[in-house]
C-alpha cells in the first residue's frame, strides 16, 4: 500500500463558523497541496484554530465545504480521522499519565496489539529524546518535552496529514529549533503538515506556501517569497562610524531612495524603508545603491542589515491594522467552545 | 512545575538533538492495523481511567471517606429516634445509604469529563478513528470500579456496626450488582451535563440540585407511609425509591419484582435518552 499522496490534501470552500456573536470563520477558502508544510499565519483570534478544528473534524462548519484527501469532513468524518492527526494548542495528551502510558494508550486505540504498542512507544520516546522521562507523568515535563510528546503522539500512526496548531508558541529558542527539525523530518517522510503560527519567520522557514488569515478570512496566499514581495517593503539598518556624518548620510539616502529616512536614538544609527510601492528596483538593489552613494561620499558604514518585513508590517500592508493580539476575542472563542 | 522539575533526574540534563536516523525509523510508514473493536476501544479507555486512579489516588477519597462518614453519621443520628437502636435501624438503613452514597458519586463522572474537555485531551480522542462512544463508555466503566469500591466500603462499615443481611453473600452481591448497573445507566445523565455545562463548578452545582432531592425524598431514610400524600406521590415515582426497594429485597433474600421492573425501565431510559443526548453533543461540539 503506497502511503505517498499527491494532489491536494485539503480543499476548503467558503467555510464559515460563528460562536454566538463572534464570526470565527467568515468564508475561508484553502487549497493545500499534499507533501509539504502549509502555513496558516495570523494573529490570535484570526480564526486559525477554528479552521484547524473544522478540518480535523472536531467542529462542524456552519456553511461551506471542506475535503481532506477527497473526503468530506462532515459526511465522511471517519475516513478523514483515519488519515489525520492533531496536535492542539493545549495539551493533547493526558497529563496525569506517563509518556509511555500515553503512547501505549494511543497505540492501542489505533489498533496495535499490546506488545506492538509498547514497542512503538519506546521507539518514539527514543527518537524524541524522551527515554529518560518515559516513566514520568507528562505534567512534570518541561514545555519543550511536552510539545515533543504531543507530536510523538500525533505521528504514532504516521498520518498523511498532521495539524500542528501553534506548535512553538511559548517555547524557548532551543526547543523551537527542535520542533522545527522534527517538522522537517515529518514532511520529508511524506506527511503533509498544516501549521498555524503567529510568527512570520516560522512560516518562512518551514512552509512552502502560506495563507495569511485575519478576521476569519484568507487575505493573502502564496509562497513566502510571493507574500513578502507583495507586501513589498523591508528596512535598511545602518550604523555609521562617525556620528557627525549622520546628517550628510540622511541627506544622501533621502536623495538616493526618495523614501523617508529615520534617525534612531543611537547617534550613529539610521534606518530607511526600501522596496516600497512605486519603485522599479527591489529592496536589495535599492539598498545597494544607497550603500554606493554613502561610500562615494566617504561615509564609513560599520554595520548594515536589510530586514525582512515583520508580521506587523505584513499585516499593516494587507489589512491596514496592526497584528496586535486580540486577547478579548480569543477569550470569547474559548468561552464558546 | 516547569523545566527544573522536568530535568531533576540526578544526572546532568542532556540536550535533545533530533537525530535524523532515529526520526526516519519512527516515521517510516508501516501498515495500518485494523481499527479496534468497540469493546476493545472501550476497554482501552477504561484502562486509562485505572491509570488515573493509580497516579492520582487522592481521587478515591470520595469513594472511601465520604461513604464511611455517611453511614456513621446517619446511623447514629437517626437510629435511636427512628428505630429502637442504631443497630436495628441499620438493618433497614444500610441498603439505602449504600444507594445514596453510590448514586451521589456518579456525579464525578460529569465533573471528570468536564475537566478532560477543559484540558484538551478529548480533542485528540475525538480525532481518532474509533467507535465514537468508546471514550465515554470506557470512562464510565472505570467509574463503575469506583462504585463497587464505595459499595464494598459501606458494606464493611455496616457489617462492623452490626448489619446482618438475611440474603447472605449472594443476596448482598445481587444487591450491589443492581446498584452498579443502575449507576452505570445513571452516569449518562452526568456525561450529558459534563458536556453542556461550562465549568466543573456548574456541573457540581447542577448535580447536587438533582441528587439531594432525589436521594432524600425517597425511602432511604424512613418509611414513606408517614409522608403527606403529594410527597408520597413523588417518592413513589422516584427511581431511587425503586432502586432502594430492590436492593433491600435482594439483601434480605427476597425479590421485589415490581421495583426490579421499574429500575430496569429507568436504567434503559437513562441510557437511551441521555446516552443519545450525550453522543449528540459529543459529536457536534
Relative to beta strand A261-263, strand A63-68 is unpaired
Q: Are B115 and A96 in contact (CB under 8 A)?
A: no
pLDDT in tens, A48-89: 999 999 999 999 999 999 999 999 999 999 999 999 999 988
Give DSSP secondary structure letters for B38-57. HHHHHHHHHHHHHHHHHH-G
pLDDT above 90 as % of chain A: 52
Of the spans A239-248, A263-272, A276-285, A302-311, which averages the highest pLDDT? A239-248
Q: Is A331 on the interface with B (CB under 8 A)?
A: no
Q: How sure is the predictor about A183, in pLDDT bands with cuts at 50, 70 and 90? A: very high
pLDDT above 90 as % of chain B: 55
Could you tell me if A166 and A288 lie in one domain?
A: no
Interface of A with B in 167-206 (CB under 8 A): 174, 178, 181-182, 185-186, 188-191
Q: How sure is the predictor about A327, in pLDDT bands with cuts at 50, 70 and 90? A: very low
Of how many residues is chain B composed? 285
CB contact under 8 A, B32 and A337: no
Q: Tell me which residue in A59, A93, A116 faces B121 most closely, judged by beta carbons.
A: A93
- Among the residue ranges A201-215, A317-331, B149-163, the one predicted with the least confidence is A317-331
Q: How sure is the predictor about B117, in pLDDT bands with cuts at 50, 70 and 90? A: confident
Instruction: Note the ipTM here.
Output: 0.84
Could you tell me if A165 and A125 lie in one domain?
A: yes
Could you tell me if A61 and A193 lie in one domain?
A: yes
Residue with the bigger pLDDT between A109 and A334: it is A109
Q: What is the separation, in whole angstroms, between the first and last Cα of chain A?
A: 38
Supply the pLDDT for residue A320. 63
Burial of residue A221 (CB within 10 Å: 0-12, 13-18, 19+) is: middle
pLDDT in tens, A200-224: 888 888 999 999 999 999 998 998 8
DSSP state at residue A193:
E
Q: How sure is the predictor about B14, in pLDDT bands with cuts at 50, 70 and 90? A: low
Residue A27 bridge partners (DSSP): none
Supply the pLDDT for residue B8. 44
* Statement: residue B10 has pLDDT above 80: no
Where are chain B's structural domains? 39-284
Cell of residue A265, nine digits: 536614538
CB pairs under 8 A between A and B: 155
Interface of B with A in 184-223 (CB under 8 A): 198
Supply the pLDDT for residue A157. 87
Q: Cα B28 vs. chain centroid, distance in angstroms?
A: 42
CA-to-CA distance for A30 and A13, rounded, in angstroms? 7
**Could you tell me if residue A333 is inside a domain?**
no
Nearest chain A residue (CA) to B282: A58
Q: Is A112 on the interface with B (CB under 8 A)?
A: yes
- Among the residue ranges A23-32, A69-78, B217-226, B254-263, the one predicted with the least confidence is B217-226
CB contact under 8 A, A143 and B128: no
Q: Is A212 on the interface with B (CB under 8 A)?
A: no
Among A218, A194, A198, residue whose Cα is nearest residue A208? A194
* Statement: residue A13 has pLDDT above 90: yes
**Could you tell me if residue A180 is inside a domain?**
yes
Could you tell me if A217 and A261 lie in one domain?
A: no
Burial of residue B93 (CB within 10 Å: 0-12, 13-18, 19+) is: buried
- Among the residue ranges A107-121, A181-195, B13-27, B264-278, the one predicted with the least confidence is B13-27
Segments forming the whole domain that contains residue A31: 8-229
Q: Is A327 on the interface with B (CB under 8 A)?
A: no
Q: How sure is the predictor about B198, in pLDDT bands with cuts at 50, 70 and 90? A: confident
Task: Report CA-CA distances (Å) from B18 to A131, A181, B2, B41.
Answer: 13, 7, 21, 32
Supply the pLDDT for residue B7. 43
CA-to-CA distance for A116 and B28, rounded, in angstroms? 15
Q: Are A194 and A163 in contact (CB under 8 A)?
A: yes
Could you tell me if A121 and A24 lie in one domain?
A: yes
**Could you tell me if residue A48 is inside a domain?**
yes
Supply the pLDDT for residue A191. 93
Q: What is the mean pLDDT of residues B111-132?
A: 87
Q: Tell me which residue in A85, A90, A95 faces B127 most closely, judged by beta carbons.
A: A85
| Neighbouring residues of B180: CB distance < 8 A, sequence distance ≥ 6 | B102, B144, B147, B148, B151
Nearest chain B residue (CA) to A180: B18
| Neighbouring residues of A225: CB distance < 8 A, sequence distance ≥ 6 | none
Taking contacts as CB-CB distances below 8 angstroms, the residues of chain A near B30 are 158
Q: How sure is the predictor about A170, in pLDDT bands with cuts at 50, 70 and 90? A: confident
What value does the mean pLDDT of chain B take? 88
Cell of residue B70, nine digits: 455517611
pTM for this structure?
0.80
What value does the mean pLDDT of chain A take? 85
Supply the pLDDT for residue A278. 52
Q: How many CB atoms lie within 10 A of CB A296?
A: 9
Q: Tell me which residue in B16, B27, B121 faces A94 most closely, judged by beta carbons.
A: B121
Kindly compute the dihedral angle of the four CA atoms of residues A60, A65, A68, A73, in this order, to the nearest 10 degrees. 30
Of how many residues is chain A composed? 337
Supply the pLDDT for residue A74. 93
pLDDT in tens, B72-87: 988 888 888 888 888 8
**Could you tell me if residue A334 is inside a domain?**
no
CB contact under 8 A, B33 and A3: no
**Could you tell me if residue A315 is inside a domain?**
no
Supply the pLDDT for residue A277. 53
* Statement: residue A1 has pLDDT above 50: no
Q: Is B226 on the interface with A (CB under 8 A)?
A: no
Residue with the bigger pLDDT between A320 and A137: it is A137
**Looking at residue A96, which CATH number applies to its domain?**
3.40.50.300
Interface test with A, best of B4, B54, B127 (most A CBs within 10 A): B127
Supply the pLDDT for residue A328. 40
* Statement: residue A276 has pLDDT above 70: no
Residue B115 bridge partners (DSSP): none
Q: Is A55 on the interface with B (CB under 8 A)?
A: no
Interface test with B, best of A123, A127, A146, A194 (most B CBs within 10 A): A127
Q: Are B48 and B142 in contact (CB under 8 A)?
A: yes
Tally of structural domains, chain A: 2
* Statement: residue B104 has pLDDT above 60: yes
What are phi and psi for residue A256, nearest 5 degrees?
-75, -35
Could you tell me if A98 and A151 lie in one domain?
A: yes
| Residue matched to cell numbers 550613529 | A268
**Could you tell me if residue A321 is inside a domain?**
no
Could you tell me if A275 and A298 lie in one domain?
A: yes
Taking contacts as CB-CB distances below 8 angstroms, the residues of chain B near A98 are 55
**Looking at residue A275, which CATH number applies to its domain?**
3.30.70.100
| Neighbouring residues of B190: CB distance < 8 A, sequence distance ≥ 6 | B106, B107, B108, B109, B110, B111, B113, B203, B207
Cell of residue B108, nine digits: 464525578
Taking contacts as CB-CB distances below 8 angstroms, the residues of chain A near B129 are 78, 81-82, 110
Interface of A with B in 122-151 (CB under 8 A): 123-124, 126-130, 132-133, 136-137, 139-145, 148
Phi-psi region of B43 (alpha: psi -120 to 50; beta: other; left: phi over 0): alpha
Residue with the bigger pLDDT between A134 and B23: it is A134
Relative to beta strand A192-197, strand A234-240 is unpaired
CB contact under 8 A, B29 and A124: no
CA-to-CA distance for B106 and B111, rounded, in angstroms? 9
Among B216, B195, B7, residue whose Cα is nearest residue B114? B195
Nearest chain B residue (CA) to A144: B3
Q: How sure is the predictor about A161, in pLDDT bands with cuts at 50, 70 and 90? A: very high
Q: What is the mean pLDDT of residues B31-38?
A: 88
Give DSSP secondary structure letters for B83-96. SSSHHHHHHHHHHH
Pick the last residue of a domain from A229, A258, A273.
Answer: A229
**Could you tell me if residue A218 is inside a domain?**
yes
Amino acid at each position: 500500500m503506497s502511503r505517498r499522496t499527491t494532489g491536494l490534501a485539503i480543499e476548503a470552500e467558503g467555510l464559515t463558523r460563528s460562536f454566538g456573536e463572534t464570526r470565527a470563520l467568515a468564508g475561508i477558502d484553502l487549497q493545500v497541496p499534499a507533501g509539504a508544510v502549509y502555513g496558516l499565519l495570523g494573529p490570535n483570534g484570526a480564526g486559525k484554530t477554528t479552521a484547524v478544528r473544522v478540518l480535523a473534524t472536531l467542529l462542524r462548519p456552519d456553511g461551506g465545504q471542506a475535503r481532506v484527501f477527497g473526503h468530506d469532513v462532515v459526511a465522511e468524518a471517519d475516513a478523514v480521522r483515519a488519515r489525520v492527526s492533531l496536535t492542539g494548542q493545549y495539551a493533547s495528551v493526558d497529563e496525569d499519565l506517563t509518556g509511555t502510558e500515553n503512547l501505549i494508550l494511543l497505540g492501542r486505540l489505533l489498533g496495535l496489539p499490546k506488545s506492538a504498542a509498547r514497542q512503538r512507544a519506546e521507539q518514539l520516546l527514543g527518537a524524541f529524546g524522551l527515554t529518560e522521562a518515559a516513566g514520568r507523568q507528562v505534567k512534570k515535563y518541561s514545555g519543550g518535552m511536552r510539545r515533543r510528546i504531543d507530536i510523538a503522539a500525533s505521528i504514532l500512526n504516521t498520518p498523511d496529514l498532521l495539524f500542528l496548531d501553534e506548535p512553538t508558541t511559548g517555547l524557548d529558542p532551543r526547543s523551537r529549533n527542535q520542533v522545527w527539525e522534527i517538522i522537517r523530518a515529518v514532511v520529508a517522510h511524506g506527511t503533509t503538515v498544516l501549521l498555524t503560527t503567529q510568527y512570520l519567520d516560522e512560516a518562512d522557514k518551514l512552509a512552502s506556501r502560506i495563507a495569511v488569515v485575519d478576521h476569519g478570512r484568507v487575505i493573502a496566499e502564496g509562497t513566502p517569497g510571493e507574500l513578502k514581495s507583495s507586501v513589498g517593503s523591508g528596512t535598511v539598518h545602518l550604523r555609521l562610524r562617525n556620528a557627525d556624518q549622520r546628517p550628510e548620510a540622511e541627506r544622501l539616502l533621502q536623495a538616493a531612495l526618495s523614501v523617508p529616512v529615520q534617525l534612531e536614538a543611537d547617534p550613529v544609527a539610521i534606518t530607511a524603508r526600501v522596496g516600497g510601492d512605486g519603485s522599479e528596483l527591489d529592496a536589495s538593489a535599492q539598498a545597494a545603491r544607497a550603500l554606493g552613494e554613502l561610500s562615494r561620499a566617504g561615509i564609513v558604514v560599520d554595520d548594515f542589515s536589510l530586514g525582512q518585513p515583520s508580521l506587523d508590517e505584513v499585516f499593516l500592508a494587507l489589512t491596514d491594522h496592526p497584528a496586535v493580539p486580540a486577547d478579548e476575542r480569543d477569550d470569547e472563542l474559548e468561552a464558546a467552545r | 512545575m516547569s523545566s527544573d522539575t522536568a530535568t531533576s533526574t540526578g544526572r546532568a540534563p542532556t540536550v535533545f538533538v533530533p537525530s535524523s536516523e532515529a526520526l526516519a525509523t519512527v516515521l517510516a510508514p508501516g501498515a495500518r492495523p485494523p481499527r479496534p473493536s468497540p469493546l476493545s476501544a472501550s476497554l482501552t479507555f477504561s484502562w486509562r481511567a485505572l491509570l488515573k486512579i493509580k497516579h492520582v489516588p487522592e481521587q478515591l477519597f470520595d469513594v472511601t471517606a465520604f461513604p464511611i462518614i455517611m453511614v456513621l453519621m446517619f446511623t447514629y443520628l437517626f437510629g435511636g429516634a427512628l428505630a429502637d437502636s442504631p443497630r436495628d435501624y441499620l438493618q433497614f438503613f444500610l441498603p439505602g445509604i449504600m444507594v445514596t452514597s453510590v448514586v451521589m458519586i456518579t456525579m464525578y463522572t460529569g465533573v471528570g469529563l468536564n475537566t478532560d474537555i477543559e484540558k484538551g485531551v478529548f480533542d485528540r480522542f475525538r480525532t481518532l478513528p474509533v467507535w465514537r462512544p468508546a471514550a465515554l463508555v470506557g470512562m464510565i466503566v472505570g467509574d463503575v470500579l469506583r462504585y463497587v469500591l464505595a459499595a464494598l466500603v459501606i458494606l464493611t462499615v455496616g457489617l462492623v456496626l452490626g448489619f446482618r443481611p438475611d440474603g447472605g453473600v449472594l443476596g448482598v452481591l445481587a444487591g450491589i450488582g443492581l446498584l452498579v448497573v443502575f449507576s452505570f445507566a445513571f452516569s449518562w445523565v452526568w456525561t450529558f451535563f459534563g458536556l453542556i455545562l461550562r465549568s466543573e463548578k456548574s456541573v457540581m452545582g447542577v448535580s447536587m440540585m438533582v441528587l439531594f432531592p432525589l436521594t432524600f425524598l425517597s425511602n432511604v431514610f424512613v418509611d414513606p407511609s408517614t409522608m403527606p400524600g403529594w410527597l408520597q406521590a413523588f417518592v413513589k415515582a422516584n427511581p431511587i425509591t425503586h432502586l432502594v426497594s430492590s436492593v433491600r429485597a435482594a439483601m434480605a433474600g427476597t425479590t421485589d419484582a415490581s421495583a426490579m421492573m421499574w429500575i430496569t425501565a429507568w436504567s434503559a431510559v437513562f441510557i437511551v435518552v441521555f446516552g443519545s443526548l450525550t453522543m449528540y453533543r459529543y459529536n457536534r461540539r
